[in-house]
Structure 1
Amino acid sequence: MSYAHLDAYSRLLRGAHEAAATGRAWPESPRRLIEASWRRSLEAGIDLEGTSAPLVYDLSYIEDIRRAHPLQPLLPLLAETLSDLARQTGHVMIVTDGQGRVLWREGGTAILRRADQIGLADGHQWEEGAVGTNGIGTALATGRPVHVYSEEHLMRVLHVWSCSAAPITDPDSGRVIGCVDVSGTARSLHPATVALVGAAAKLAESRLALRMHERDERLRRRYESLHGRPGVLLSPTGRVICGDPAGRLGDRVPLWDDPDPPGDRIRLPGEIGEHLRMSGQRMILRDGTVGLLEPFSDGYLLRTVPTATPPALTLSFLGEGPPSVALGDRERPLSLRHAEILALLALHQHGLTAEQLSFHVYGDAGNPVTIRAEIHRLRSQLGNAIAAKPYRLACPVEADFLAVRRHLAAADPGALARAYKGPLLPRSESPEIRRARDELEAQVRACLLRHGCPEHLWAYAQTAGGRDDYEVLERLAALPSTDSRSAAARTRLHP
């Protein structure tokens, strides 16, 4: 891009920035990637007048944190690829963890001094939620290499900087574990730098893949030396290496619900080893069987263990009373939010991701982190009745609304009238629950009007939806005047 074009783009950005700062509509928007990042950052409450990225690591631990990070062995490779560029052009090279926390940097004395002033230094965090639009944070948010130029940053203090960054994905866990970035003053950093940074990230990923295959081979040799039927061999992150020829477990066994599992998370000094924490853990597998997880060398062995039929989960969610849940013969306390989650899992038997559940419960305003926290609270009450990855019910389910669906499918008005006690979770504002509630109400009404006798219609007229239903009441009012149901229906029609 020529300097003339840069000047014109800078003027556009300044106008959009002033509008964003005052809450006005943007006269012209920046390019799509930056516009989306600005919107995420503004929703996160970023202060446009902030002066620095926050310091989130105790620097006395930084050497231990570096040594524990999976990118540490690849630093010479990244330095060889990018450090010369940084030194020769007066830029700084940065390597962060998967949450945008700076672990390493290289550059000349002058540029490092300027970087210190904005927190582009060890232990500071550069996620979008911490400092808004920037190369590191936006690369992590989008999962691809990005170049952020000068006024494209949301915080004004960063307008003298430009940066090119690319995320690094661990092939073992499938998660982003770091980001590599080259930053410098605005006009000295060419946008083509993003191609070089992206190539460096891909090279790091290929080395990680090579190391992963070498670890797998060592584990496989140890596994094959065992006698008998040792179980399924898993990597430390739950990847299936061997022992499951039918593929019933899929490519990976979810070991953690935590969004930052131990294979990707940096362990601080004093934390217990993950093998110790995971030893002997029982889990519900995707086919409903129970597995026992035991440490083996650098990975895990997963053995299927016999188990009794788990107790049924009974959900009573129809009608105007409070929703209730029982596991076996024991009733449990239940909030409306937890009832919504259980209803959604019952309606989606193959399971839902945290993102899908969040959308179904909260709509566009949902946050998967909130759903994970709610699931954690639910599991503290219901234990392994809720499985993960995806979230699903891993036990027999008896739900009044599912029974109504079965009676509808069988076109059995008698059973339907007895089972339908009213709308599904009538106080719920969940978009998906509202849709299911309205659909169920419409189907029940149509079936009873088409196939039901006066007894069935009278039962429906006692529910919230049928109490003032004109067509249902007209049918009942037409009964002989000696029938008490006729008098009641006429009273409702003409109060």
Structure 2
Amino acid sequence: MTRSSQADRAIADCDRRTPVVGAGAGDRPMVTDSWQRSLAAGVDPDLPSAPLVFDADTLPGFRECHPLDRHLPLLRETLRGTADASAHLMVVTDAEGHVLWSEGPRSVRRRADRVGLAEGFRWAEESVGTNGMGTALSVGGPVHIQATEHLIRVLHAWSCVAAPITDPDTGKVIGCVDITGAKNSMHPAVIALVQAAARLTEAELMLEMARRDEHLRDRYFRHLHGDASVLVTATGRILAADPDGWRDGRIAVPEAGHRVTLPDGRTAVAEILGQAFVLRAVEGDRPSLMLRLLGDQQPQAFLDGRRIPLSLRHAELLTLMALHPSGLTCEQSSFHLYGDEGNPVTVRAEIHRLRAQLGDVVRAKPYRLDCDVDADFLTVRRLLGTGNVSAAVRLYPGPLLPRSESVAIQSERDDLNAQLRRQLLHHGDIDDLWAYAQTGEDDLEVLGRLMAVLPPGDPRRVAAQLREHRVLSDG
């Protein structure tokens, strides 16, 4: 027997055991389809309650980081009066059906608590069967579920109207708003009101997105020069382009150093600029190499989008070749890496191993890179050169190859950090200073500046004070 026929038999069995009041499960295709999905997921019609997922300690954290948190007043203003006046609950979930907010008269909330219609419980279809919130999230549109249309029998005393809310930035559903009440108390006007509340919230999200977009254009538009033709958000939306007709389109979300296809079919390489990407067109079949060498992480190379982990020695050699695009002799490379004690034979052996990984992009006589090269530390240096300290500090997870003892790389590392720190202290805002502090640098001057500019109630000020105390104690 197929899963579909098993679900059909289960629906028929539930209908035989449960008297149908009003619309039955088979009266509307949308409801029948929902029952089939729910039963195929293993939902028991005798389930006594929705499952609890978030306890009282973890729920606040999920609320604060959810994009609907700041729009709760709008939803409350639009729907709360209706909920209070008509003995209904207003419920708001995330995209997975977790109830993050639930408001309404106390008497209704007490009854709702018995079936898990409360904050912290999950109302996805696969958890609790056909219901307003879970089914709206499944079908991606507004739904009205009445009484016995609910799969689990304990919900037959309730009716609900729900509508999903879509983030215009990502195009994905981020949550759901719902009005739930007694089975015979749902006025037809509530259906339109819930849909209107969802659309108003999406309109506010659209305004927020437009403000962010304008900020990104102002900050990064000057990077669209030469072979750079497209400015893209971190979610893949095109903000600015040549031709301008590409604007407001969408491409696959890029990753730094990877290749993407432009709307006209050309190939481009993505360069990250903090909160956005610039896509630089690649002419012909010339390979592209992106190096990630900043911070206390394993160095990585991306050759035409293919990730290649690097040993420290190979990362050092690639750093030298990126800094010297015209090339270095074997003896020069040895000196930069090992000083007077260096042995060119060792460098030749490492270059041989590196060519086994990267192929012909590594050239000899002199040692150089025969490809389009970029690196995170070079991007940070370019941003600092244009005075864009905010973008630079957000691309700076830590020093260049911090475990390297190469004199040349130590010099580049110290110089880059000094430039970043100098611009940060002179021109950085609070968020810039805080981002730099998260790199792990125990910089007392930066911590002191943070404590001077952060308001007393900001938790970051307390964190900076504790960090300063630890640094002074360790010293």
Partner of 2:389: none
Which of 200, 208, 211 aligns to 2:208? It is 211
Partner of 2:251: 253
Contact conserved, 1:15 with 1:28, CA < 8 A, in 2? no
Once residues 113 and 289 of structure 1 are traced to their aligned partners in structure 2, the CA distance between those partners, rounded to angstroms, is 60
Give the letter aligned to residue 125 of structure 2: E
**TM-score normalised to structure 1 length:** 0.50
Q: Could you report, residue by residue, the CA deviation over 1:72-119 in whole angstroms, capped at 9, with x for unpaired residues?
A: 221111000001111122211111111211111211222222222222
Is 1:129 equivalent to 2:126 in the alignment?
Answer: yes
Cα distance change of structure 1 residues 183 and 28 upon mapping to structure 2, 3 Å threshold: closer
Contact conserved, 1:147 with 1:191, CA < 8 A, in 2? no
Contact conserved, 2:25 with 2:149, CA < 8 A, in 1? no
Give the letter aligned to residue 39 of structure 1: Q
Q: How does 1:233-272 map to 2 (within 5 A)?
A: 233-245=231-243, 251-255=249-253
Once residues 263 and 158 of structure 2 are traced to their aligned partners in structure 1, the CA distance between those partners, rounded to angstroms, is 48
**TM-score normalised to structure 2 length:** 0.52
SS in 1 for 2:58: helix
Cα distance change of structure 1 residues 164 and 248 upon mapping to structure 2, 3 Å threshold: closer
Cα distance change of structure 1 residues 293 and 54 upon mapping to structure 2, 3 Å threshold: farther
Partner of 2:182: 185
Which of 292, 302, 315 aligns to 2:279? It is 302
SS in 2 for 1:187: coil
Is 1:45 equivalent to 2:45 in the alignment?
Answer: no
SS in 2 for 1:69: coil
Once residues 44 and 75 of structure 1 are traced to their aligned partners in structure 2, the CA distance between those partners, rounded to angstroms, is 32
Is 1:71 equivalent to 2:48 in the alignment?
Answer: no
Which of 108, 111, 132 aligns to 1:111? It is 108
Cα distance change of structure 1 residues 16 and 147 upon mapping to structure 2, 3 Å threshold: farther
State, as a whole percentage, how many aligned pairs show the same letter.
47
Once residues 56 and 291 of structure 1 are traced to their aligned partners in structure 2, the CA distance between those partners, rounded to angstroms, is 43
After superposition, the CA RMSD in angstroms is 3.0
Once residues 305 and 62 of structure 1 are traced to their aligned partners in structure 2, the CA distance between those partners, rounded to angstroms, is 47
Contact conserved, 1:233 with 1:300, CA < 8 A, in 2? yes
Cα distance change of structure 1 residues 185 and 242 upon mapping to structure 2, 3 Å threshold: same
Which of 199, 202, 210 aligns to 1:202? It is 199
Q: Could you report, residue by residue, the CA deviation over 1:142-187 in whole angstroms, capped at 9, with x for unpaired residues?
A: 2221111111100011111111101111112111111100111212
Contact conserved, 1:163 with 1:182, CA < 8 A, in 2? yes
> Could you tell me how far 1:30 is from its partner in structure 2?
2.2
Once residues 278 and 102 of structure 2 are traced to their aligned partners in structure 1, the CA distance between those partners, rounded to angstroms, is 39
How many residues are aligned here?
A: 272
Once residues 249 and 217 of structure 1 are traced to their aligned partners in structure 2, the CA distance between those partners, rounded to angstroms, is 13
Give the letter aligned to residue 71 of structure 2: L
Once residues 123 and 282 of structure 1 are traced to their aligned partners in structure 2, the CA distance between those partners, rounded to angstroms, is 42
> Could you tell me how far 1:19 is from its partner in structure 2?
3.7
Cα distance change of structure 1 residues 295 and 108 upon mapping to structure 2, 3 Å threshold: farther
Which of 115, 133, 146 aligns to 1:149? It is 146
Once residues 146 and 24 of structure 2 are traced to their aligned partners in structure 1, the CA distance between those partners, rounded to angstroms, is 19
**Structure 1 unpaired stretches of 5+:** 1-13, 257-277, 311-495
Give the letter aligned to residue 103 of structure 1: L
Cα distance change of structure 1 residues 66 and 28 upon mapping to structure 2, 3 Å threshold: closer
SS in 2 for 1:46: coil
Contact conserved, 2:25 with 2:32, CA < 8 A, in 1? no
